[in-house]
Amino acid sequence: MRRPRLLIPLLLVAAAGTATGASAAAPAPGAPAAATPLDRVVPAPAAVRPGGAAFTLGSGTRIRVPAGSGEARRIAGYLAGLLRPSTGFPLPVTTRGGADGIVFRLGGRDARGLGEEGYRLTSGGRAVTISAARPAGLFHGMQTLRQLLPAAVEKRSRQPGPWRVAGGTILDTPRYAYRGAMLDVSRHFFTVEQVKRYIDQLAQYKVNKLHLHLSDDQGWRIAIDSWPRLARYGGSTQVGGGRGGHYSKADYREIVRYAASRYLTVIPEIDMPGHTNAALASYADLNCDGKAPPLYTGTKVGFSSLCVSKKLTYQFVDDVLRELAALTPGRYLHIGGDETHATSHPDYVTFMDTVQPLVAKYGKTVVGWHELTGAHPVKGAIAQYWGRDKTGAAERQRVVDATQHGTRLVLSPADRAYLDMKYDKDTPLGLEWAGYVSVRRSYDWDPGSYLAGVPAGAVLGVEAPMWAETLGSSANLEYLAFPRLAGIAELGWSPARTHDWDAYRVRLAAQGPRWDAQGIDYYRAPEVPWVGR
């Protein structure tokens, strides 16, 4: 889906100079805090026109939704649930007409050109109105509204307010349709509740894809009825030898449902033919020599391979993909394909070329790590690029050539977008094989021009992977994700013309008190002028 251009120019002129003009100046002691400027949000909105009276949320404020849209009502209910504890206001959701309060509008003149996900937010004396063509737009607009309220609104106990929203208009549509985050639940298992917590965090930054890395050498995390030992045995441990775990089908459906309620699509990954020790350990017959290796709890990569010459291998893959496709309403299945150092190149090509049609057979679109371009990507396939600045020219060129033949790209350069890389030498968690990735480094690149020669339109978007070798808890995950996740989310959403590190770091700093209020232990990067510290 291309970004609708229609309405953007209307506000462009007004927006010039505001997107980069944010200042971190603190209010004078005793003065009421000024309302957050409309452009001090992450991701940066496409266009902002500040001005006019502020809106103040009060004890009588209602949230008005159009009659006949269950989704609008549900989103309004979610917003009310977020705002009630800190404001103490009842914030009833109503379909009764009226032009005051928080007003959600679906369709109509104001929604023209906003596409699937865009929104218009207008704040004035009596109302904040969010208009969208589709419910996803209302949801994203609602997330922007959260950021325009004081950070204390995120607390779960009653706060004094006042709850002002600056006056003006935001008109906002995404640059890319694919704005993803990946969570590796194989190296360490994350429970359904932990995944839901991360989903809520991703949704705040308008991320709309959750890629779950469901299998690897250390653990198989999804129940497959036709191969029950995969999860029961192959999921029984994790890095370091802990207990591991897996999702039952009901668990997985619950994750999919919850993600959808936050406008994220789940993209499940079964990594093949390498990264398969957990499967090979579960079924001896999957091994070329018929012998099952032991379970693996270390952190090496590239030592396992499915047996490419065995017929049973493809029955196995077919069964897994069939069951996974049946659980997955989204259109994508990720088949991995990275780091196959234990598979010969001809075997790799045979395997990937045999397996891709199985994804299509179950009505889904192939996603693979960019090594897929070394086989023959099927029509419509998506390659996820995880190379680095120093990736060799031949490997880059292979990816670029594939895009010239129709393969589309999701960009996750490891030395930019990998959230599990250490920030610097002192970071207590994470890995460093792709180098240290500072907050600036993760933000300061352009997905549109990152790989020279890729046709415009071949870049579907960006994704921030989080590998979990060193992560034992949500707190560990959040320390590496925040603040870098916000930067990758912005690269996916905001127009290239808003890209500016000096302005971004000020907008990012304003997120700190929100994360504090939400109990997120983020990394206080010295590059960012954090507020109130």
Measured in degrees and rounded to the nearest 5, phi and psi for residue 95 equal -95, 5
Of 179, 114, 201, nearest to 492 by C-alpha is 179
Nearer to ligand ACM, 369 or 479 (CB): 369
Minimum distance from residue 290 beta carbon to ligand ACM (Å): 28
87-109 in b/e form (b: 16+ CB < 10 A) is bebebebeeeeeebbbbbbbeee
Handedness of CA 410, 415, 418, 423 (dihedral sign): negative
Place of tokens 């929104």: 119
Which residue in 71, 116, 339, 527 is the catalytic one? 339
Nearer to ligand ACM, 172 or 415 (CB): 415
Minimum distance from residue 433 beta carbon to ligand ACM (Å): 9
Minimum distance from residue 338 beta carbon to ligand ACM (Å): 4
Minimum distance from residue 192 beta carbon to ligand ACM (Å): 24
Nearer to ligand ACM, 174 or 461 (CB): 461
Residue 417 · residue 488 · CB < 8 Å: yes
Residue 221 · residue 191 · CB < 8 Å: no
Minimum distance from residue 455 beta carbon to ligand ACM (Å): 24
Nearer to ligand ACM, 386 or 493 (CB): 386
Measured in degrees and rounded to the nearest 5, phi and psi for residue 421 equal -75, 145
Whole-angstrom CA distances from 168 to 58, 108, 174, 524 are: 19, 20, 20, 31
List of E strands, 143-199? 163-165, 168-172, 178-184
Residue 185 · residue 245 · CB < 8 Å: no
Q: Select the residue whose beta carbon is closest to ligand ACM and give its number.
A: 338
Nearer to ligand ACM, 172 or 269 (CB): 269
339 in catalytic set = yes
Q: How far apart are CA 384 and CA 399, in angstroms?
A: 10
Residues making contact with ligand ACM (CB under 6 A): 338-339, 369, 386
Q: How far apart are CA 356 and CA 378, in angstroms?
A: 7
User: Which strand ranges, in their side-by-side order, compose the sheet holding 93-94?
Assistant: 47-50, 168-172, 119-123, 127-132, 101-106, 63-64, 93-94
Nearer to ligand ACM, 63 or 419 (CB): 419
Minimum distance from residue 238 beta carbon to ligand ACM (Å): 18
Tokens standing for residue 328? 């997955």
The catalytic residue positions are: 339
